[in-house]
């Protein structure tokens, strides 16, 4: 993934309503979710929702499919995985990452 692609994704997710919409779509997974379901769940007005869905789609974070009269939104799994890989590339200098428990023991603080 190029830096510019990651920046576009982060910009799309950097707005609270869009982040909430994206999280709901990710939670629904392959099942997908309709705009009506998003509107009911999150209480976002239709025009505002349409704008946010467009931003997420243009950032390549979600996919949309028409099923008869309904639009179904799903996470773009490959892009989300690429974004996570981008964030975690060379995490912890290639060493196993410390868990919170291990990190507390190293610093001498017990949880």
Question: pTM (2 decimals)?
Answer: 0.79
- Alpha-carbon distance of 37 to 33, in angstroms, equals 6
Alpha carbon distances (Å) from 36 to 20, 50, 79, 97? 15, 11, 25, 41
Q: How confident is the model at residue 111 (pLDDT cuts 50, 70, 90)?
A: very low
pLDDT of residue 85: 86
Which structural domains are found in the chain, ordered by start? Answer: 3-86 (1.10.10.10)
- Alpha-carbon distance of 72 to 92, in angstroms, equals 38
- Alpha-carbon distance of 31 to 63, in angstroms, equals 12
pLDDT in tens, 32-56: 999 999 999 999 999 999 999 999 9
Q: How confident is the model at residue 93 (pLDDT cuts 50, 70, 90)?
A: confident
pLDDT of residue 103: 52
**Is residue 27 pLDDT above 70, yes or no?**
yes
Which residues does 33 contact at the CB level (< 8 Å), separation at least 6?
Answer: 24, 25, 72, 73, 74
């Amino acid at each position: 993934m190029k830096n510019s692609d990651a920046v576009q994704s982060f910009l799309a997710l950097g707005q609270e309503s869009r982040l909430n919409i994206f999280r709901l779509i990710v939670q629904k997974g392959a099942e997908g979710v309709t705009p009506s379901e998003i509107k009911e769940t999150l209480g976002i007005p239709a025009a505002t929702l349409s704008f946010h869905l467009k931003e997420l789609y243009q950032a390549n974070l979600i996919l949309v499919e028409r099923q008869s009269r309904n639009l179904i939104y799903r996470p773009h799994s490959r892009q989300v995985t690429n974004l996570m890989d981008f964030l975690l590339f060379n995490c912890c200098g290639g060493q196993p990452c410390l868990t919170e428990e291990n990190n507390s023991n190293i610093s001498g603080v017990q949880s």
